[in-house]
Amino acid sequence: MPILRGVLGSYTALFLVFLYAPFIVMGIISFQSGPEGGPQFPIIEWSTYWYEHVLGFAPPSRVAPLPIGEALLRSLTLAFATMLVSTVLGTLTASAFRRRFRGSGVVFYLVVLGMMVPGVLLGLGMALVAREVGIQPTWWGTAFLLHVVYTYPFAFLVMLAIFNRFDPAVEEAAWALGVPPGRTFRKITFPMIFPGVLSAMLFAFTLSYDEFPRTLFTGGSDVTMPIAIYGTFAVEIHPNLFAFGVLTTLFSFALLSVYGILMAASVRKARRVTGVQEDIA
């Protein structure tokens, strides 16, 4: 067994190298010299040119700047709206699943279908519907509807898992003591499901922010960030994409850290709530 353990351990290390290799190469090439250096080895000269290019500080060159201002703002707005709507929908649906009801299987698979259908198919379907109905596809309209179709199942599954581990006796005790339902929800239910709500929000935000197959046909003429990046596939790629990749990864880490802090705080709070119960008992 110890030999097997060693073999598997080294294998896992190799596996992680495989996962990270493109990531590291991306980081290295983002420091390629500009504006003539391309997205390949060798590094002609180390520079931060492509970072300046991304942020708009570099002098104009033949490489088109990434539409950081507008496209990024659109992506963030879309992700934020998607996050709110899909988390609310997911929480509502999952709380309905707290009791048994007829047809729950159909509803379950109807919702889960939203994450199963490939994006390009939904995008095509929505584009056809928009064409037939006669509405212009927009990133805040048709694309937003599909983003929610995609992220709502994730929120639903997360909340379902949370409610499965939820003890209804606590709520019932509050009602029995005459606490009104609204107050019970605010003071008892919500703090207990809050970690799940946070995870659902994080899922929805990151999925929507990076989503492009559903947006490709339904986003209209104003591009979101992923569509802008996809646009570069057709032309030559430059290291500015990699510099942007590094920057957004750092941003994601910041977001993740905020999530981690909120999560830790809410776990502590939930523990305090249950701690109070134990005192009473």
Partner 1 sequence: MGPSVAETGSVTTPREKFWKRNHHLLLLAPGIVWMVLFLVVPLAMMVYVSFWTQTTFAISSDLTLASWQAFFASDTYVGALLRTLRIWLTVLVVTFVIGYPTALFIGQFVRNKTTQTILLVACVIPFWTSFLIRVLAWRPMLGREGAVNIVLENLGLISEPIDALLFTELSVVIGMTQIYVVFMVGPIAFMLARIDGSLIEAARDLGASSWTIFRKIIFPLSLPGVVVGAIFVSVMVLGEFATASALSGRKVNLLGNIIVTQVGSLKWAFAAVIGVVLTAVMAVVITALLRVVDLRREI
Contacts (CB under 8 A) with partner 1, residues 122-141: 122, 124-129, 131-132
Asked whether position 98 contacts partner 1 by CB under 8 A, the answer is yes
- Would you give the distance in Å from CA 115 to the centre of its chain? 13
Asked whether position 79 contacts partner 1 by CB under 8 A, the answer is no
Q: How far apart are alpha carbons 52 and 30 in whole angstroms?
A: 11
| Inter-helix orientation angle 190-209/239-280, to 10° | 170
Name 66's Cβ contacts closer than 8 Å, sequence gap at least 6: 54, 228, 229, 240, 241, 244
DSSP label of 118: -
Asked whether position 8 contacts partner 1 by CB under 8 A, the answer is yes
Asked whether position 187 contacts partner 1 by CB under 8 A, the answer is no
- Would you give the distance in Å from CA 168 to the centre of its chain? 30
Among 59, 60, 134, 176, binds partner 1 (CB under 8 A): 176
Among 116, 235, 280, 281, binds partner 1 (CB under 8 A): 116
Name 113's Cβ contacts closer than 8 Å, sequence gap at least 6: 153
Q: Which is nearer to partner 1, 149 or 201 (CB)?
A: 149
Q: Least distance in Å: CB of 125 to partner 1?
A: 3
Q: Which stretch binds partner 1 (CB under 8 A): 44-52, 53-61, 158-166, 262-270?
A: 158-166
Among 152, 154, 203, 205, binds partner 1 (CB under 8 A): 152
Name 206's Cβ contacts closer than 8 Å, sequence gap at least 6: 79, 252, 255
Q: Least distance in Å: CB of 274 to partner 1?
A: 19
**CA distance from start to end of the chain:** 47
Q: Least distance in Å: CB of 242 to partner 1?
A: 7
Asked whether position 4 contacts partner 1 by CB under 8 A, the answer is yes
Q: Which residues of 1-38 are buried (b: 16+ CB within 10 A; e: fewer)?
A: eeeeeeeeeeeeeeeeeeeeeeeeebeebbbbbbbebe
Q: Least distance in Å: CB of 73 to partner 1?
A: 16
Using CB under 8 A as the criterion, what x/- string covers residues 225-244 for binding partner 1?
Answer: xx--xx-xx---x---xx-x
Asked whether position 11 contacts partner 1 by CB under 8 A, the answer is yes
Asked whether position 257 contacts partner 1 by CB under 8 A, the answer is no
Q: Which stretch binds partner 1 (CB under 8 A): 53-61, 103-111, 185-193, 196-204?
A: 103-111
Q: Cα separations (Å) of 81 from 64, 209, 235, 244?
A: 29, 11, 32, 23
